[in-house]
Amino acid sequence: MPRTKNERKLSFRPKCTLFFPNENGTNETIKLISEEVEALYLMDLLELYQEDAAQKMEISRPTFARIIKSARKKVALGLLMGNKLSLEVLKKELVIAFCSDNKDFYENLNSKNRYICIFTFDANLELNNKLFLDNPIFNTDLKPTIELTKIFLKYNVNQYLVSQIGEGFKSTLASKGVDVRLQKQFVINNLI
């Protein structure tokens, strides 16, 4: 009798879920399941070692190795053979971060504001948790690209709201799987 499959811990939500060649492609679509998408994110975007990536997904290293091998083969088929790639996205939690000077009203969102606000929402976009951290770059010369990125990765943030952002910081966050949305304020009722 086969073993039951353990629940994989998934944190990455891709922006795009369908890729296809512009020319000479096939009609066949290859589907990357959500755990393969997560494995690619952890190894190829975050550049974690297999052991560390397996721990993040709460699976064994040999299981992670099988998942990443399968994912990379599917991506290679898409790129080299012209197959369409479809990425499965399970509705998991949404973790939004923004910086604010107030814990009750969230306006004038700026990376150098007093607090880092991290809100966690479930798959139905119900608010599960609010976390307020002192912002280490508030009134300092520390760089948001370094300090905030570390914090966002620690708390599995997948969306950052800010009124303005430099291209370097935006690129760094994108490479780590954090979607950046430009907005001046945050209202819980106006999600996505």
The string of pLDDT tens digits covering residues 94-139 is 899 999 999 998 999 999 999 999 999 887 788 999 999 999 999 9
- Confirm whether 1 is domain-assigned: no
Tell me, what's the pLDDT at 91?
59
- Confirm whether 2 is domain-assigned: no
Say yes or no: 108 and 169 in one domain.
yes
Strand partners for 65: none
Distance CA(89)–CA(32), nearest Å, equals: 9
Torsion of CA 179, 156, 64, 1, to 10 degrees: -110
- Confirm whether 11 is domain-assigned: no
Which residue among 35, 54, 87 closes a domain?
87
- Which of the two residues, 192 and 18, has the higher pLDDT score? 18
Instruction: Please state whether the predicted TM-score (pTM) of the whole model is above 0.75.
Output: no
CB 78 within 8 A of CB 87: no
H or E stretch at 181: strand 179-182
How far apart, in Å, are the Cα atoms of 142 and each of 11, 82, 145, 147, 164? 27, 45, 9, 7, 17
State the CATH number of the domain containing residue 123.
3.30.420.130
Say yes or no: 66 and 135 in one domain.
no
- Average pLDDT (42-64) is 91
Q: What is the mean pLDDT of the chain?
A: 87
Distance CA(103)–CA(39), nearest Å, equals: 35
Number of domains in the chain: 2
Q: Which domain holds residue 23?
A: 18-87
| pLDDT > 90 fraction of the chain, expressed in percent and rounded | 47
- Confirm whether 79 is domain-assigned: yes
Which residue among 87, 106, 132 closes a domain?
87
Strand partners for 179: 159
- Confirm whether 107 is domain-assigned: yes
- Which of the two residues, 19 and 89, has the higher pLDDT score? 19
Say yes or no: 172 and 139 in one domain.
yes
Neighbours of 36 (CB within 10 A): 21
- Confidence band of 1 (pLDDT split at 50, 70, 90): very low
- Average pLDDT (65-84) is 92
Distance CA(157)–CA(12), nearest Å, equals: 9
- Model confidence at 145: pLDDT above 60: yes
C-alpha angle with apex 166: 164 to 167, nearest 5 degrees? Answer: 125
Which residue among 87, 114, 137 closes a domain?
87
